Chains A and B, each alone.
Chain A
Amino acid sequence: QQPVQSPQAVILREGEDAVINCSSSKALYSVHWYRQKHGEAPVFLMILLKGGEQKGHEKISASFNEKKQQSSLYLTASQLSYSGTYFCGTETTGNQFYFGTGTSLTVIP
């Protein structure tokens, strides 16, 4: 039931790009993305609703393929401040919500 994220961990140099994937076994109504820095609470990034709409947030964007029950988060020209653990959250068509397994992202100078 918990969506699976890949990769589990990634290390980037400043300015590099990354893609984080989220895959669910259930039909989805929406996908949420959150970032959590060490010792802090998760912070909302964006929501993607059923319909495949791509959204953007500065240099962070995401897509949602409802047929494949997958979402991807794209981080371009990464900055040190992007470091943290990224979680997808999936809302199923049965109104259940699950956070993904998490992806640890570290940006180094």
Chain B
Amino acid sequence: DTAVSQTPKYLVTQMGNDKSIKCEQNLGHDTMYWYKQDSKKFLKIMFSYNNKELIINETVPNRFSPKSPDKAHLNLHINSLELGDSAVYFCASSQGRVSTEAFFGQGTRLTVV
């Protein structure tokens, strides 16, 4: 059983479209995250979500919005996609806040054309 799973694994879409990436974890963790990894491999935290408390990285455009229907799911919605949004997006989860081990999903490679 995959601990943290994301779908889709690959996503190719045109500029201006709206898309979603789904994430589910079966570890019973109470904190979930979204990370963006750019072409230079820099990993940047976008959001963390813990017990309905959303912490947003202020550098993330408001076209990006996380949605959590329950503790095991944290989906990422992106509106009006831009070329610069092309990257690999990782979902992760951990038990508690940051000072614990995070488990990552396999990543979603988003390409905006």
Q: A40-B106, A42-B90, A43-B104 are in contact. Are A30 and B99 (CB under 8 A)?
A: yes
Contact (Cβ within 8 A) B105 A47: no
State in angstroms the CA–CA spacing of A32 and B104 once bound together: 14
- Residues from chain A with a CB closer than 8 A to the CB of B43 are 42, 87, 99, 102
Q: Which of A58-66, A73-81, A90-98 contacts B (4 or more CB under 8 A)?
A: A90-98
Count A-B pairs with CB separation below 8 Å: 45
Number of interface residues of A (CB under 8 A): 21
Q: A91 touching B107 by the CB < 8 A rule?
A: no
Q: Please judge, given known A-B contacts A30-B98, A91-B99, A97-B98, whether A41 and B45 are in contact too, CB under 8 Å.
A: no
Closest-by-CB residue of B relative to A97 is B98
Count residues of chain B with CB under 8 A from any CB of chain A: 19
CA distance A43 to B4 in the complex (A): 12
Candidates A44, A87, A95; contact of B98 at CB < 8 Å: A95
> Are A42 and B104 in contact, CB atoms less than 8 angstroms apart?
yes
Question: A85 to chain B: which residues have CB within 8 Å?
Answer: 41
Scan residues 85-113 of chain B and give those whose CB is less than 8 A from a CB of chain A. 90, 97-107
